[in-house]
């Protein structure tokens, strides 16, 4: 996590994000910027479905898509809709620490047992389900995945500003990610 940039004051917001909806997100969430009344969303936030994360942002400020690991590959139509119809100007992709989509193989037994016990699945079907989908949703490192997914989105939507962020569960703050040049 050495590539994370803490946002403690306005000057910490990376220059390319200042004056953008992503810069505003960082100011609202980390710096306690007073929340204004918003008429329409200006930002699309893609973040993990994890229940430990809550953003401090105004109502109507952003569309929010939640998917395991902040993986928006299966939500691309929704991303396109937010851009084309919702007229968002930017995408903030927010990964987080302690993400359950990292090292999924280590959770196979718990996954299978949970489906058997809580959902009534057959153990063999639960295991097949895990092995079918886990490779699609495994993200490796939170930081590396968010960087690669942000780059993919930026190539797909070249006129839309996209930025990778990390939410540290340990302190409930957003961090910019230092991108390699």
Is the confidence at residue 97, as pLDDT, over 60?
yes
Least confident of 18-27, 91-100, 107-116: 91-100
- The kind and range of the H/E element at 151 are helix 142-156
Is the confidence at residue 1, as pLDDT, over 70?
no
pLDDT digits (tens, 9 = 90+) for 123-180: 999 999 999 999 888 888 899 999 999 999 999 999 999 999 999 999 999 999 987 6
Q: Which of 147, 175, 172, 177 is nearest to 70 (CA)?
A: 147
How many other CB atoms are there within 10 angstroms of residue 93's CB atom? 28
DSSP 66-134: E-GGG--GGGHHHHHHHHHTT---EEEEEEETT-TTTTGGGGHHHHHHHHHHHH---HHHHHHHHHHHH
Q: What mean pLDDT comes out for the span 108-126?
A: 97
Least confident of 6-15, 57-66, 100-109, 145-154: 100-109
Q: What mean pLDDT comes out for the span 106-121?
A: 96
Q: Which of 41, 50, 13 is nearest to 174 (CA)?
A: 13
Cα–Cα dist 167/71, whole Å: 15
Q: Which of 135, 134, 142 is nearest to 164 (CA)?
A: 142
Cα–Cα dist 55/48, whole Å: 12
- Could you give all domains of the chain from N- to C-terminal order, each with its CATH number? 4-100+140-177 (3.40.1050.10), 103-138 (no CATH)
Tell me the two tokens of residue 89: 């100007």
* CA Rg value for the chain: 17
Cα–Cα dist 2/170, whole Å: 15
Please give the residue that has the higher pLDDT: either 102 or 82. 82
Q: What mean pLDDT comes out for the span 89-112?
A: 92
Cα–Cα dist 98/142, whole Å: 8
Angle at 76 between CA 72 and CA 78, to 5 degrees: 100
Q: Which of 150, 35, 3 is nearest to 90 (CA)?
A: 150
Is the confidence at residue 121, as pLDDT, over 80?
yes
Cα–Cα dist 60/38, whole Å: 5
pTM here is 0.91
Instruction: Report the pLDDT value the prediction gives residue 138, as an integer from 0 to 100.
Output: 86
Instruction: Report the pLDDT value the prediction gives residue 94, as an integer from 0 to 100.
Output: 96
Is the confidence at residue 181, as pLDDT, over 70?
no
């Amino acid at each position: 996590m050495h590539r994370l940039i803490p946002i403690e004051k306005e000057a910490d917001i990376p220059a390319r994000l200042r004056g953008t909806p992503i810069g505003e997100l960082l100011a609202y969430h980390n710096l306690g910027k007073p929340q204004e009344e918003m008429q329409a969303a200006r930002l699309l936030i893609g973040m993990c479905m994890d229940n430990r994360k809550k953003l401090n942002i105004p109502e109507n400020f952003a569309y929010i898509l939640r998917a395991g690991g902040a993986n928006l590959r299966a939500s691309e139509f929704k991303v396109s809709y937010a851009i084309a119809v919702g007229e968002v100007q930017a995408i903030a992709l927010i990964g987080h620490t302690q993400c359950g989509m990292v090292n999924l193989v280590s959770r196979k037994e718990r996954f299978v047992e949970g489906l058997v016990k809580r959902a009534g699945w057959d153990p063999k079907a639960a295991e097949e389900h895990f092995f079918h989908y886990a490779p699609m949703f495994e993200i490796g490192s939170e930081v590396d995945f968010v960087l690669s997914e942000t780059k993919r989105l930026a190539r797909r939507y070249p006129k839309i500003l996209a930025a990778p962020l990390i939410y540290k569960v340990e302190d409930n703050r957003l961090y910019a990610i230092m991108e390699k040049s």
